[in-house]
Structures are given as C-alpha cells and as structure tokens.
Amino acid sequence: MGWLGRKLSSFLWWTYPRGSLEYDIMVGIILAFIFLTPRHFFRDQPRPAGATPAAGMARLRPPARPPAQLARLGRAR
C-alpha cells in the first residue's frame, strides 16, 4: 500500500489523535458537508405546524376494552 493508500485508510478509520492537523481537516470536511449541503439534497423539508400525516399512514387507536387475555393477566396479580 502506498503513501496515498495509507493516508486514505487513516482518514477512513479515523486514526489521528485529537488536535492534529489531519483530525481538524476531517472535522472541517464533516462540518462543511453538514452546513453547505442544500436541504433539497436530502428531500427533507420541515412540515407546517398544522400538517396532517400522509394519506398512506394509518392512525392506530387503542382498543375500547382490553382483550380477554390481558384482562385475565391483570386479575392474576
């Protein structure tokens, strides 16, 4: 493995100590990715305050009465 391969491997496995130049470069790259990537790249948009769930989602309601098995367990205690 050549010099470039060792450097790439070190970046991939993050083997540099804190405070080193390489560590600071990696942190800078990560922060640049977080803050400079456009929002539409992830297709993640904030929903308005009164937004309803998507049409394909089902809203689960609790059962009106507990099933007979659960009721029996509750009396056994």
Assess contact for 66 and 74: CB atoms under 8 A.
Answer: yes
Q: What residue ranges do the domains of the chain occupy?
A: 1-38
The pTM of the full predicted model, rounded to 2 decimals, is: 0.47
pLDDT classification of 68: cutoffs 50, 70, 90: low
The two three-digit tokens of residue 36, written as one number: 């400079």
The two three-digit tokens of residue 65, written as one number: 């009465």
The two three-digit tokens of residue 7, written as one number: 């450097």
User: Is the per-residue pLDDT at 76 higher than 60?
Assistant: no
Handedness of CA 62, 65, 66, 68 (dihedral sign): negative
Q: How far is CA 17 from the centre of its chain?
A: 26
Average pLDDT in the 16-22 region?
87
